[in-house]
Chains A and B, each alone.
Chain A
Amino acid sequence: QKEVEQNSGPLSVPEGAIASLNCTYSDRGSQSFFWYRQYSGKSPELIMSIYSNGDKEDGRFTAQLNKASQYVSLLIRDSQPSDSATYLCAVKTPRSQGNLIFGKGTKLSVKP
Chain B
Amino acid sequence: NAGVTQTPKFRILKIGQSMTLQCAQDMNHNYMYWYRQDPGMGLKLIYYSVGAGITDKGEVPNGYNVSRSTTEDFPLRLELAAPSQTSVYFCASSYSYLTGGGDPSGGTDTQYFGPGTRLTVL
Q: Interface residues, chain A, CB within 8 Å of chain B?
A: 31-32, 34, 42-46, 49, 51-52, 88, 90, 92, 94, 97-100, 102-105
Chain B: interface residue total (CB-CB under 8 A): 31
Stretch at the interface among B13-21, B63-71, B104-112: B104-112
Choose among A32, A42, A43 the residue that contacts B101 (Cβ–Cβ < 8 A).
A32
Asked, given contacts A98-B31, A98-B96, whether A88 binds B43 with beta carbons under 8 Å apart, the answer is yes
Q: Within the assembled complex, what's the spacing in Å between the Cα atoms of A100 and B114?
A: 16
Cβ–Cβ < 8 Å partners of A31 in chain B? 100-102, 109
Cβ–Cβ < 8 Å partners of B97 in chain A? 98
Cβ–Cβ < 8 Å partners of A99 in chain B? 31, 33, 45, 48, 58, 96
Interface of chain A: mostly helix, strand, loop or mixed: loop
Q: Within the assembled complex, what's the spacing in Å between the Cα atoms of A65 and B29?
A: 26
Q: How many A-B residue pairs have CB under 8 A?
A: 70
Please tell me if the beta carbons of B56 and A97 are within 8 angstroms of each other in the complex. Answer: yes
30 contacts between A and B (CB under 8 A): A31-B102, A32-B108, A34-B109, A34-B111, A42-B115, A42-B116, A43-B90, A43-B114, A43-B115, A43-B116, A46-B111, A46-B112, A49-B107, A51-B101, A52-B104, A88-B43, A92-B109, A97-B98, A98-B31, A98-B50, A98-B98, A98-B99, A99-B33, A99-B45, A99-B58, A99-B96, A103-B42, A104-B41, A104-B42, A105-B42
Cβ–Cβ < 8 Å partners of B74 in chain A? none
Please tell me if the beta carbons of B110 and A46 are within 8 angstroms of each other in the complex. Answer: yes
Q: How far is the CB of B1 from chain A (nearest CB, A)?
A: 15
Chain B: which residue is nearest A90 at the CB level?
A: B111
Cβ–Cβ < 8 Å partners of B113 in chain A? 43-45
Cβ–Cβ < 8 Å partners of B107 in chain A? 49
Chain A: which residue is nearest B91 at the CB level?
A: A43
Chain B: which residue is nearest A105 at the CB level?
A: B42
Cβ–Cβ < 8 Å partners of B112 in chain A? 46
Choose among B33, B98, B110 the residue that contacts A49 (Cβ–Cβ < 8 A).
B110
Q: Within the assembled complex, what's the spacing in Å between the Cα atoms of A52 and B100?
A: 13
